[in-house]
Amino acid sequence: MGAANAWRRRWPDSLFGQLCVIVVVGGLSAQLLFGSLWYDVRYSQVLEEPARLVIFRTAAVVNRLADGKAIDDLATEVFHPQLRAAPLPSPPRQDDARANVARLMQDALRRETGEALPLSLLDVDIRNDRGDASTWAGLTGLSPVVGHFDFQLRLAPRRWLRIRADQAQGWNARPAWIVLGDYALRVYLLRALALIAVALVVVRVSTRPLRRLIRAASALGRDIERPPLPVEGPREMRQAAEAFNAMQQRLIDLIRERTELLAAVSHDLRTPLTRMRLRVEGIGEDALREKLVGNIVQMETLIAALLDSVGDGAGPEESSAFDLAGLVREVVDDFVETGSDIRWDGAAEAFVSGQSASIRRVLHNLIENALRYAGSTRLTLRLAGRWVELTIEDDGPGIEMQRLADIMQPRVRGDAEAGGALGYGLGLSIARSIVMAHRGRLRLENRTGGGLRVVMALPAMA
């Protein structure tokens, strides 16, 4: 499990990184699988000089036999010629490395003798200077290379020459480490760099539609009416773009149908509400009349809020710069004129981008909520880096901690027993939607000394 977890931590998190790793590792793995080609070529390279030296001595034996002379004095400790009347059985099949050595010896023999004498390689191997088998150590230059050869030549129908010889690598052979390093540099390193370059280009081009889809999905919440995605790229990406465009269109149709339905409902409700208001005005009992009029006003306010919750919000294409500090002063003055207890302090000016009318509606909603539950409120406006923060504080009852996270959901109220039409319910949900449409944040928290603190942050203009 530990190794598996370590592998997961090292595995790239992005699709781009994963595809790059797959392409590069896959290419190098394929090269390793074809490493047998290197073995075959290197085997014949290492034995090339020893084989040519053995064939040179063999040619001297063949020429001496052609002159009718004996060959006994040509035998040494590492070179044993032997005449035979019949051939020894040849191996049924040789691998590619030994077949390359056999072809090399046959070609060298033809050059030395001028005849195409049939050569049959019985055995060939790489040994060290102690006579022990050392194939891989010899190929990689970790031990001296001594070629062990056992082959036979057909001189005449019933005359065969068998040669057993051990021959060290010639002085002019390239060191194995140079050959291996050159091979690793040109084949593995250059191929890895080429694969990385190809992976960077191919994967980036292939994932471009996916990145476009991610950006579109992120922007969808801010602008439902944004242009549809272009349908291009690989088949899967085209299908994803078509599905995204269809989903966006369904959302647009759903919002439009809901808006039209609520507009029709509000129109149908306002007519009987108007008749009810006219009839209520004729009631002689003042307390009953005021209570009924208040209920009618609450219903009208709720209808307006429902329409606002599916309204246009604040699309970025309709944004313009305005002074948030000036707008707050105007809203505060409106409340002060009606006798509300509001204290205001903040920056002289703070410019943001958006719809001033929508932000004015947010301010009215937040201040009305504070006044309804606390009777007074305090506003502070300050610049915090790239943000403009407006803080609204009150000394009211606050909100229960377990409900604080859900209080901005539609139709969730902070105090079910409180009066008023909206409370911290639908109006607060509308306020959050408008602030988010302005790429801002709306945060609620209970104050340490009691009461509620609402912080609205909007991006400041540079």
Domain with CATH 3.30.565.10 in the chain: 316-459
Residue type (1 letter), 167: Q
Average pLDDT, the chain: 78
**What pLDDT does residue 424 have?**
42
The contacts of residue 146 (CB under 8 Å, 6+ apart) are 50, 126, 127, 128, 129, 131, 166, 167, 168, 169
431: tokens are: 């306020």
Sheet strand arrangement including 452-459: 341-346, 376-384, 387-393, 452-459, 441-446
pLDDT, tens digit, 9 for 90 and up, residues 226-281? 788 888 776 777 888 888 888 888 888 887 777 777 777 776 777 777 778 777 77
CATH number of 235-309: 1.10.287.130
pLDDT, tens digit, 9 for 90 and up, residues 199-230? 777 777 777 777 777 788 777 766 777 788 88
312, pLDDT greater than 70: no
pTM for the whole thing? 0.43
pLDDT, tens digit, 9 for 90 and up, residues 173-202? 555 566 667 666 766 677 777 777 777 777
For residue 190, the tally of other CB atoms under 10 A from its CB is 11
CATH number of 316-459: 3.30.565.10
**What pLDDT does residue 68 have?**
80
**What pLDDT does residue 450 have?**
84
For 18, half-sphere exposure in the C-beta direction (CA atoms, 13 angstrom radius) is: 8
Residue type (1 letter), 177: W
The contacts of residue 84 (CB under 8 Å, 6+ apart) are 152, 159, 160, 161, 162
Domain with CATH 1.10.287.130 in the chain: 235-309
Residue 456: what are its φ and ψ, rounded to 5°? -110, 120
pLDDT, tens digit, 9 for 90 and up, residues 122-162? 999 888 777 777 766 666 666 678 899 999 999 988 899 99
245 versus 294: which is more confidently predicted? Answer: 245
